[in-house]
Chains A and B, each alone.
Chain A
């Protein structure tokens, strides 16, 4: 949840800094991205061409497409971890749903909308089943999803017979490989900016009506200018290559919807409450079991999107798709400031975490660094991120 809270001036300076880091964690994370990009940009600088290979529009587009699938899983995973649980089965569920997508599309020749509807329904159903086992039956989520990880992977092997199913239809491929035409990208960007500006001013008017503190007009406008610049830079860069990739668009829509769910809905508020203190939330008259089950419904939905995107991107259903995906998703959440102890975390943070992971992968591959070094680096970064979380939030509890 993002709230702007004025820091009491009487608090000691050290706590001020801690709170500042906690408040503006997202800014710190963006700084980390800038540092990583600058680092790889410098290392991949090509004198003869005068450009950095890492900092091209093409690579930016690649990087975003690489993180889109992990990002989808991480978006669902944030709520699971915020509620104080864990889900180890998402990589396998992604594989299963991706496999089913391929079976429906290639073997059974279903039309695209039928495939999408069926896979989404199955994903939500699988998620709700896991959620039911955790919330109502009372089996720890670690165990349920460890079992799910094995069972779903087994199911995908059974369904596909262990072979790669190809080729999928062109319309399905578009979901994973397609690009939006530049004009549509521009229109969407402008619409988004107008919408954000409208919401900002409406919130401001509402706060003034209730005599609540508001930030001054220049700051408000400065914020909007920065947001506008980011959106414009994003779309212009991607359009200068081939346009906004479809999976990235899907991910951005998920980001928007999930942020609204987390910050502005009854359900979202309850997710954070459950993660912060389950018993107190129950005693406040909240059906905590239902909240948990629904969180897994969302997680299943995200697995469906990620599974379809994976199959569409590879243009084939492979039994090993999504292997280890749960670990990338969980790592993204932790790097993005989600607290292991529950109650804290944001979707945007998790996605920034996913971008950091993807940047490291992409940059190190480009430099020709061995895979084993890539894994070691990612492991160290994950541990360091959680350590930072403990250091910055430890004093407050």
Chain B
């Protein structure tokens, strides 16, 4: 899962970018608890290139990176265990345009590989551009369930607002 509140739930601020990424799969580099630093660094460097994370050094503290690059590292942390289901909670929140594009590309790539992705978002264009199926949820209730075929922002909004009127009536 990639959490919404990156500062509070995503990054481990005092740790280097690289160690943030491998936190989920540390056991892979370890024999009897001992981490093989070279193996770990090799993976970190490969992942930094794959995710196009911009950092001067793989072991700089993650807090010194831009929001977008932090987010890419957090997403990568969740990808390393090779999940079948991925929950992305506002994955582009506070992320610059370039990094947003990278994350969208990544989502499509993962979907092609057969990973089930549940993305939670409040940005309409983002939803319509990415989702196969859109569920509208408001005040704890499911208010709409659309396949993303000829779906418009108006329809989604109508579902959200229309339901509010139904509840009020």
Q: Is A264 in contact with B61, judged by CB distance below 8 angstroms? A: no
With A5-B59, A266-B26, A397-B63 as given contacts, are A206 and B38 in contact (CB-CB < 8 Å)?
yes
Contact pattern, B 1-42, Cβ under 8 Å of A = 1, otherwise 0? 101000011111111100100011011001001110110011
Q: Which 10 A-B pairs have the closest CB atoms?
A: A206-B38, A276-B14, A343-B14, A284-B23, A265-B33, A277-B12, A284-B24, A276-B12, A266-B26, A210-B42
CA gap between A287 and B89 in the complex, in Å: 22
**Chain A residues within 8 Å of chain B by Cβ, number:** 33
Q: A3 at interface (Cβ–Cβ under 8 A)? A: yes
Q: Is A5 in contact with B60, judged by CB distance below 8 angstroms? A: yes
Q: Is B38 in contact with A280, judged by CB distance below 8 angstroms? A: no
What are 9 pairs between A and B in contact, CB < 8 Å?
A207-B38, A266-B35, A273-B23, A279-B9, A280-B8, A281-B12, A284-B12, A343-B13, A396-B61
Write out the residue numbers on chain A whose beta carbons fall within 8 Å of the beta carbon of B9: 279-280, 283
Q: Is B57 in contact with A264, judged by CB distance below 8 angstroms? A: no
Contact pattern, A 274-300, Cβ under 8 Å of B = 1, otherwise 0? 011101110111100000000000000
Q: Is A279 in contact with B57, judged by CB distance below 8 angstroms? A: no
Q: Which residues of B contact A (CB under 8 A)?
A: 1, 3, 8-16, 19, 23-24, 26-27, 30, 33-35, 37-38, 41-42, 45, 56-57, 59-61, 63-64, 77, 81
Write out the residue numbers on chain A whose beta carbons fall within 8 Å of the beta carbon of B3: 280, 283
Q: A212 at interface (Cβ–Cβ under 8 A)? A: yes
CA gap between A343 and B61 in the complex, in Å: 12
Taking the closest CB of chain A, its distance from the CB of B9, in whole angstroms, is: 5
Contact pattern, A 1-38, Cβ under 8 Å of B = 1, otherwise 0? 00101101000000000000000000000000000000
Write out the residue numbers on chain B whose beta carbons fall within 8 Å of the beta carbon of A212: 38, 41, 45
CA gap between A273 and B15 in the complex, in Å: 7
CA gap between A279 and B9 in the complex, in Å: 6
Taking the closest CB of chain A, its distance from the CB of B5, in whole angstroms, is: 9
